[in-house]
Amino acid sequence: MPKLNVTLPEFIKKLSKSFSDHRGTAYLVGGAVLDVLSNRKVKDWDMEVFGLSYDQISQVASQFGESDLIGNKFGVVKLKSEEFDVEIAVPRIENKNGLRHKDFDIQLVPDLSLFDAARRRDFTMNSLYLEIDNNMLHDLFGGYYDYRRGIVQHIDAKTFVEDPLRCFRAMQLVARKGKRVTHDTVQLCKSMKEDCSHLSGDAIFAEFVKLLMLSDKPDKGLRFLVWSELIDLFPELKALIDCKQNPVHHQEGSAFEHTLMVIREAAKYRDAIPEEWRLAYMFGMLLHDVGKPAATDPVTLKAIGHDKLGKPLAKTFMERLTRDKDLIDKVKRIVRAHMRPLIYLKDGSKASAWRKLHNLCPLNILAYVAMADNNGRGISRSHRFSEEDTMFQTIMKMHELIGSHKGDIPSVLMGRHLIEAGFKPGKYFSAMLAKAYEFQLETGCDDIEKLLEIATNEKTI
């Protein structure tokens, strides 16, 4: 039980001291301890307070900021202050009573032993307790050793299996903070596959978001899905494992190996993507080739049309995880458009083709899509993209020339222009406007008079 030489924020120490004054003992737990040990900025300030009831914890916390008591069923107080957001929990015992992730009977036990509290947690590296008042680290299950060596392993098989979502926590944890998952933990997760199939899409989605958005090596988490056989729950991804690729372009092997390489490359450029497209970009790169198994010719190994075939498969995958229609739409656009930039550059396509492509998916997004897809192959360094690369810069320049940063290029000619020209609103309006917009995309014309002439041409009407 070593004493750490760390300096915690005054707010956290004062909050802990207040719990002590009421005969409670406050500990930092979970990821907060790991961040402190690594001298990283703490992302989530999570505490457990022993010796005090939920009501007592709520009363103390209310003196330090706004307290959210929505988590009273789970014994959690969410404290918001000007400096920090802190989640404060009462030690508890959980007993599974159903198939869903949230099907638990929860018993709050303020006087639970530290050993039993740590034992109910998921992985050894998350079982560390840092006593805030004296900086004493309590490591009852070898979590510090495992963390330093990147080992993800469960604490107790009997308690672990009560929450199948822990299998997907292993997926994102090994990619974010670990190097490998122990054989015993992999086998335990494999035995929980049926239970995992009953998890809600929203719960699994949250773990995928952590994998794709917080890890520099998300491919590690995808490999874990294969080892644990949880990949069976995602047939669109599983089909990639046995999908051979044309070795002329893909010396890395299967479409799954390509996807692993692409998703790691994509993570390198994640922060360069506009925030509103960032998550769609990562999911899009995960799913960009899901159409290959259906499209691949067994003789030539060419996968002509896999981008088109992949769009509905990506939609099916995403709809199992989330109801976010905007996100799903963006992912579909990326999958459908991911091949086009390099093809257009190779063919010397006209500006009109680039405008139409931009309407499908913004070119500044596709520039990074093309770079991750190209670099995620078994190719030499000389054939890799970079942000200084001529091909990447050409795509970005096309985006600047088009002048729209929101996606679809807005139509110059509007219905009001037709009305001002003496036309009455009617069934021909949409066809007239569509004709003008098509001409605008083909030529780049933004002259209203010319577009009005195109729209009102008798052949159109």
The H or E element spanning position 48 is strand 45-50
What pLDDT is recorded for position 204? 98
**Which residue, among 373, 225, 378, has the nearest Cα to 292 in the 3D structure?**
373
Which SS3 state, helix, strand or coil, does residue 438 take?
Answer: helix
**Which residue, among 287, 376, 371, has the nearest Cα to 328 in the 3D structure?**
287
What pLDDT is recorded for position 406? 56
Q: What pTM value is reported for the model?
A: 0.86
β-partners of residue 107 are: 93
**Which residue, among 115, 106, 97, has the nearest Cα to 75 in the 3D structure?**
106
What pLDDT is recorded for position 160? 95
CB atoms within 10 A of CB 4: 15
Residues 6+ apart with CB under 8 A from 333: 280, 284, 360, 361
Q: Are strands 180-181 and 92-96 parallel, antiparallel or unpaired?
A: unpaired
What pLDDT is recorded for position 1? 65
* DSSP state, residue 123: B
What pLDDT is recorded for position 458? 59
Q: Among 3.30.460.10, 2.60.40.1930, 3.40.50.1100, 3.50.50.60, what is the CATH number of 10-148?
A: 3.30.460.10
What pLDDT is recorded for position 405? 53
What pLDDT is recorded for position 104? 62
Distance CA(263)–CA(244), nearest Å, equals 18
Two structure tokens written together for 332: 């579909």
Q: Are strands 66-68 and 76-80 parallel, antiparallel or unpaired?
A: antiparallel
What pLDDT is recorded for position 7? 87
CA 141 to chain centre: 30
DSSP string across 378-394: S--GGG---TTSHHHHH
Distance CA(242)–CA(255), nearest Å, equals 8
b/e 338-368 (16+ beta carbons within 10 angstroms → b): bbbbbebbeeebeeebbbebbbbbbbbbbbb
Residues 6+ apart with CB under 8 A from 103: 96, 97
Exposed/middle/buried for 1, CB within 10 Å: 0-12, 13-18, 19+? Answer: exposed
CA distances from 102 to 199, 203, 367, 441 (A): 9, 10, 41, 51
What pLDDT is recorded for position 456? 79
What length does the chain have?
A: 461
Distance CA(451)–CA(225), nearest Å, equals 54
Q: Cβ(54)–Cβ(77) under 8 Å? A: yes
What pLDDT is recorded for position 430? 79
Q: Delimit the domains of the chain by residue range.
A: 10-148, 276-407, 415-455
Q: Cβ(154)–Cβ(190) under 8 Å? A: no
What does each of the 461 residues of the chain score in pLDDT, given as a tens digit?
677 778 899 999 999 999 999 999 999 999 999 999 988 889 889 999 999 999 999 999 999 988 876 666 788 999 988 888 999 999 998 766 565 556 667 889 999 999 999 999 999 999 999 999 999 999 999 999 999 999 999 999 999 999 999 999 999 999 999 999 999 999 999 999 999 999 999 999 999 999 999 999 999 999 999 999 999 999 999 999 999 998 888 889 999 999 999 999 999 999 999 999 999 999 999 999 999 999 999 999 999 999 999 999 999 999 999 999 999 999 999 999 999 999 999 888 888 889 889 988 999 999 999 999 999 998 777 677 887 788 899 999 988 877 655 567 777 778 787 777 777 787 777 777 777 777 777 776 776 777 777 777 755 44
CB atoms within 10 A of CB 155: 22
What pLDDT is recorded for position 461? 45
Distance CA(312)–CA(308), nearest Å, equals 8
